[in-house]
Amino acid sequence: MSDNKIKIEVPVMAELAAQGHKPEWLFWVGSAGAFDDRYKKVTREFVKLLTYLGVDYAVLGIEETDSGDVARRAGNEMLFQMQALQNIEILNGYEVKKIVTCCPHDFNTLKNEYPELGGHYEVWHHSQFLAIRQKAGDFKDITDAFASKKIVFHDPCYLGRGNGEYEAPRSVLDAIPSEKVEMKRNKSFGLCCGAGGGQMFKEAEKGDKEVFIERTEEAIATGADIIATACPFCMVMMTDGIKYKNQEERMKNYDIAELLSLSLGL
Amino acid sequence: MCYKSVISVSNARSELIFVFLISVLLQPYKGIKNRIMTAQILFALSLLITLAVFAFTMRRIFFNFRFTRKKKLTNYPARIRETVKVAIAQQKIFRHPVMGLVHALVFWGFIVILFGSLEMVVDGLFGTVRSFAVLGWFYDLLMLTGDVFAAIIAVAILIFLFRRIFLHVKRFYGREMKPVSKADANLALSFILLLMLSLLGMNTFYLLEMHNAGQDFEGVFPVSQSLADLFAGMSDKQIIFWHHFNWWFHILLIFVFANVLPYSKHFHVFMSVPNVFVSRIEPLGKVDNMENITKEVKLMLDPAAPMDVAADETVEKFGVSDTTDINWVNYMNALSCTECGRCTAVCPANITGKLLSPRKIVMDVRARMKEKGAGLMKQGAAFEDGKSLLGDYITEEELWACTMCNACAQECPININQPSLILDMRRYLVLEQSKAPSGLNTAFTNIENNGAPWQYSPEDRLNWAEELYMNKA
């Protein structure tokens, strides 16, 4: 690597604990963030942002296990609770107080569903985390990398309708010089990407078309160059949709963290 | 017709009730301030019949609650706020601003007019005329708003009827919308239209009657006042007849309407406000925890846990396969649904042609509970008719098409929560029947073995962090 690059050593909770350090934030990577090839890139860009901001954080690493969101919504409550209780035991063991995650499903599960099983944390979605930093003026040296681009934001159900957060991802995008457009169905009217409730892992039922195609068509109709997403499932679906509609040349799909990181030249 | 003939008619059992009423209407007028006894008796009788039939219906409907599962209501202050916001202020119906406003006007109008109906009951029982006039300026205000709202509602209903009959609004159609659902809607709208017309008629002829008798009238009626000019040429006798006719027509129609409503989707009129009060107030993303599973999982994870927890437990069914497994709020939801279809119109599965319709799920719950209700009433919880909600009404295909996106729940103007029902039926399929689509079974196995829905080794969970470089800021 050239001299102007810095190697990031991602801090792991167990190692910090061994040194007697309790970081302020736990970055919850999530299964998609850890294993999905496309979303691993988002995880890496978000870690760059954390480093850029000088955040005191750590990840659980191999101690993290699936949050159980998919299992629960697919009806497997037993498996969900097994996962949740394992995670809670680890998180409580490290006396974790604040959690940030790039996945709105894990955000929802950890924030709303872990408390009933004994896990009480202050949980932030990365859009909220970045929006606060943006408002505080922490992204001053942002570039014009996307100035000529038109960006449309697709609301993740579990961030938007699920938890009422529509503004944070938009204010992150506002920090990036570019043109913003909205789809006809946006915010609380937003159409699902089609992957929630376990759909990601099964064949779609018989119908006229697949949900992700319907949504991608709506995004394409805005004339945007970029579909901004803030959820690993939405990302898979929108990327597939762009491919299906043969728009790969014209249209790209990025997570809001990637757009910010790229704008900052990290 | 003289007084005696009325009595003789009332003695003849075979005569229909409306013959009495016409007779009363046609009696010589006996002074404005006091109605005659016969009318009071007739009124009390019709009120009694109304209440008796209503009580009979309510018993049949509400009896079913005892076969539903418990669910604790908490956070009453938040519930009151939610009721004010969603029910009284009609917040969610305004998500469709134009038709939302029309509905809100009808709702607010109903509330104001309700006071007038109460006054009519008092007047009917005690032979008084406009007894609430003692409220003074407040009465004037009630009558003023009621009179204006009656006209607004009449217009709103004409808009609704026109839309239903002549415009093809997509969400009024669908697999679950049978001809009876449409007839139901048009019948209720016609009822309301007649109620409003008779209310305006009553006010109009009241004004004329008072005017002709040279007396002051109680209340303020801007709409009826202008209507009165149209009928000023009528004889005293005609005016008195039409005043009484409208009065009786209006109140008796309310009595009939109140007893028709519980048998139709318009039970909504009674149930929607209480439904909002008991509705889910947690974030839409949150799923209700299954306590009985928590006990089992804790035992599995910690074998040292006291065994009596397990011994304590009665064998309980996981999830929902029939309406006797739902909780009472689910049943409230089903009773309150007026089948507007806003949920189905925003459902991603339905939009893309899948079988799932959230409205159908709610309608199925009500229909199944009604079907099972008679048997439950006779034989209690043990009653079985060999049918069930899941299977005979709702198919697995519908349930698995849901993305749990909560668009339906977000849209429902009265906070019905369709996803929780869908999930509870999925829970039954998975936990009791081990019946999940194969893709999901694979994901379950992976999560169980590798801690992720994909087949990766848990040891590789931090591989993403390798060789990570960034530019110097």
A161 and A207 together in one domain:
yes
Phi/psi of residue B136, nearest 5 degrees = 70, -125
A48 and A160 together in one domain:
no
DSSP state, residue B84: I
Distance set, CA B44 to CA A189, B22, B127, B241, B345 (Å): 51, 16, 11, 21, 46
DSSP state, residue B89: S
CA–CA separation, B123 vs B465, rounded Å?
80
A195 and A118 together in one domain:
no
Domain boundary pick from A131, A165, A188: A131
A32 and A103 together in one domain:
yes
Q: Which of residues 285-344 of B touch A (CB under 8 A)?
A: 285-287, 289-290, 293-294, 296-298, 300-301, 318-319
Question: The complex's ipTM?
Answer: 0.96
A163 and A114 together in one domain:
no
In a domain, B230, yes or no: yes
The CATH number of residue B355's host domain is: 1.10.1060
A158 and A59 together in one domain:
no
In a domain, B232, yes or no: yes
Share of chain A above pLDDT 70, in %: 99
Closest CB from B293, B348, B453 relative to A66 = B453
pLDDT of residue B9: 38
What does the buried/exposed string (b/e) look like for B147-182 if buried means 16 or more CB atoms within 10 Å of the residue's CB? bbbbbbbbebbeebbeeeeeeeeebbebebbeeebe
Whether residue B349 and residue A211 make contact (CB cut-off 8 A), yes or no, is yes
Closest CB from A77, A85, A158 relative to B427 = A77
Structure tokens at A114: 């872990």
A178 and A255 together in one domain:
yes
B189 and B295 together in one domain:
no
B236 and B91 together in one domain:
yes
Name the CA radius of gyration of chain A, rounded.
18
| CB-based contact, B230 to chain A, within 8 Å | no
**Taking Cα atoms as reference points, which of A243, A222, A229 lies closest to residue A193?**
A229
What amino acid is encoded at A92 in this protein? N
Whether residue B461 and residue A61 make contact (CB cut-off 8 A), yes or no, is yes
B379 and B244 together in one domain:
no
pLDDT of residue B23: 56
A25 and A127 together in one domain:
yes
Give the DSSP H/E element, type plus range, for residue A101. strand A98-101
pLDDT of residue B33: 45
In a domain, B394, yes or no: yes
B269 and B133 together in one domain:
yes
CA–CA separation, A8 vs B469, rounded Å?
6
Instruction: Enumerate the residues of chain A whose CB falls inside 8 A of the CB of residue B452.
Output: 31, 34-35, 65-66
**Torsion on CA atoms A204, A205, A209, A212, rounded to nearest 10:** -30
Closest CB from B403, B447, B458 relative to A199 = B403
In a domain, B100, yes or no: yes
Distance of CA A201 to the CA centre of its chain: 19
Q: Which of residues 29-68 of A touch B (CB under 8 A)?
A: 29, 31, 33-36, 40, 43-44, 47-48, 51-52, 59, 61-62, 64-66, 68
B101 and B212 together in one domain:
yes
In a domain, A137, yes or no: no
**Torsion on CA atoms B20, B24, B28, B32, rounded to nearest 10:** 170
Look at residue A258 and tell me whether its pLDDT is greater than 60. Answer: yes
B312 and B429 together in one domain:
yes
Whether residue B401 and residue A191 make contact (CB cut-off 8 A), yes or no, is no
In a domain, B62, yes or no: no
| Domain region containing A148 | 142-263
B384 and B360 together in one domain:
yes
In a domain, A248, yes or no: yes
Closest CB from A10, A194, A204 relative to B465 = A10
Q: Supply angle C-alpha A126, B283, B435, rounded to 5.
A: 95
Contact A127, A169 (CB under 8 A): yes
pLDDT of residue B39: 87
Which among A39, A205, A210, A217 is the top mutation candidate for probing chain B, defined by the most B β-carbons within 10 Å of its own β-carbon?
A: A205
Phi-psi label, residue B451: left if phi above 0, alpha if psi -120 to 50, beta otherwise: left
CB–CB contacts below 8 A, A to B: 244
B181 and B269 together in one domain:
yes
Closest CB from A62, A157, A189 relative to B461 = A62
Instruction: Enumerate the residues of chain A whose CB falls inside 8 A of the CB of residue B447.
Output: 66, 68, 70-71, 79, 83
CA–CA separation, B324 vs B322, rounded Å?
5
B137 and B12 together in one domain:
no
Closest CB from B352, B443, B472 relative to A70 = B443
For B290, nearest residue in chain A (alpha carbons): A77
B322 and B267 together in one domain:
no
Contact B262, B61 (CB under 8 A): yes
A155 and A110 together in one domain:
no
Contact B259, B54 (CB under 8 A): yes
| CB-based contact, A209 to chain B, within 8 Å | yes
Distance set, CA A10 to CA A15, A63, B452 (Å): 11, 14, 21
A30 and A90 together in one domain:
yes
Closest CB from A61, A112, A202 relative to B285 = A112
A42 and A97 together in one domain:
yes
Domain boundary pick from A105, A131, A157: A131
The CATH number of residue A155's host domain is: 3.40.50
Whether residue A8 and residue B469 make contact (CB cut-off 8 A), yes or no, is yes
DSSP state, residue A166: -
Distance in Å, alpha carbon of B318 to nearest chain A alpha carbon: 9
**C-alpha neighbours within 13 Å on the C-beta side of residue A69:** 28
**Taking Cα atoms as reference points, which of B387, B467, B45, B298 lies closest to residue A5?**
B467
- Count: domains in chain A: 2
Distance in Å, alpha carbon of A104 to nearest chain B alpha carbon: 10
In a domain, A6, yes or no: no
Residues 6+ apart with CB under 8 A from A89: none
Complete DSSP assignment for B298-357: HHHH-TTS-THHHHH------S-SSTTSSBHHHHHHHHH-----HHHHH-HHHHTT-S--
Task: Give mean pLDDT, residues A111-130.
Answer: 98
Instruction: Enumerate the residues of chain A whose CB falls inside 8 A of the CB of residue B293.
Output: 77-78, 81
Distance set, CA A201 to CA A125, A198, B455 (Å): 23, 6, 12
In a domain, B204, yes or no: yes
Closest CB from A10, A33, A158 relative to B285 = A158
Strand order in the sheet with A98-101: A57-58, A25-28, A98-101, A122-125
A184 and A108 together in one domain:
no
Query: How many helices (H) does chain A have, and how many strands (E)?
Result: 11, 9
In a domain, A4, yes or no: no
Contact A122, A98 (CB under 8 A): yes
| CB-based contact, B454 to chain A, within 8 Å | yes
Q: Which of residues 173-192 of A touch B (CB under 8 A)?
A: 188-192
| Residue A48, SS3 per DSSP | helix
Total-model pTM: 0.92
pLDDT of residue B8: 42
Look at residue A84 and tell me whether its pLDDT is greater than 60. Answer: yes
| Residue B158, SS3 per DSSP | helix
| CB-based contact, B459 to chain A, within 8 Å | yes
CA–CA separation, A40 vs A31, rounded Å?
10
Domain boundary pick from A89, A111, A131: A131
Whether residue A77 and residue B443 make contact (CB cut-off 8 A), yes or no, is no
Whether residue B464 and residue A34 make contact (CB cut-off 8 A), yes or no, is yes
| CB-based contact, A265 to chain B, within 8 Å | yes
In a domain, A217, yes or no: yes
In a domain, B64, yes or no: no
- Count: domains in chain B: 3
Whether residue A40 and residue B461 make contact (CB cut-off 8 A), yes or no, is no
Characterize the bridge pairing of strands A150-153 and A179-181: parallel
What amino acid is encoded at B452 in this protein? A
Task: Give mean pLDDT, residues A104-112.
Answer: 98
Distance set, CA A59 to CA A34, A47, A49, B115 (Å): 11, 10, 14, 63
In a domain, A153, yes or no: yes
pLDDT of residue B14: 43
Instruction: Enumerate the residues of chain A whose CB falls inside 8 A of the CB of residue B400.
Output: 202, 205
Contact B324, B63 (CB under 8 A): no
For A109, nearest residue in chain B (alpha carbons): B286
CA–CA separation, A220 vs A224, rounded Å?
6
CA–CA separation, A184 vs A221, rounded Å?
9
In a domain, B469, yes or no: no
Instruction: Enumerate the residues of chain B whose CB falls inside 8 A of the CB of residue A207.
Output: 349, 352-355, 401
Which among B92, B284, B342, B408 is the top mutation candidate for probing chain A, defined by the most A β-carbons within 10 Å of its own β-carbon?
A: B284
CA–CA separation, A23 vs A12, rounded Å?
10
Structure tokens at A235: 């990302």
CA–CA separation, B71 vs B328, rounded Å?
7
Whether residue A204 and residue B285 make contact (CB cut-off 8 A), yes or no, is no
Structure tokens at A232: 């690993």
B268 and B299 together in one domain:
no
In a domain, A63, yes or no: yes
In a domain, A116, yes or no: yes
Whether residue A208 and residue B353 make contact (CB cut-off 8 A), yes or no, is yes
| CB-based contact, B396 to chain A, within 8 Å | no
Name the CA radius of gyration of chain B, rounded.
29
Distance in Å, alpha carbon of B444 to nearest chain A alpha carbon: 6
For A164, nearest residue in chain B (alpha carbons): B283
In the predicted model, residues of chain B with pLDDT beneath 70 are: 1-36, 305-315, 473
| Domain region containing B5 | 1-30
B147 and B233 together in one domain:
yes
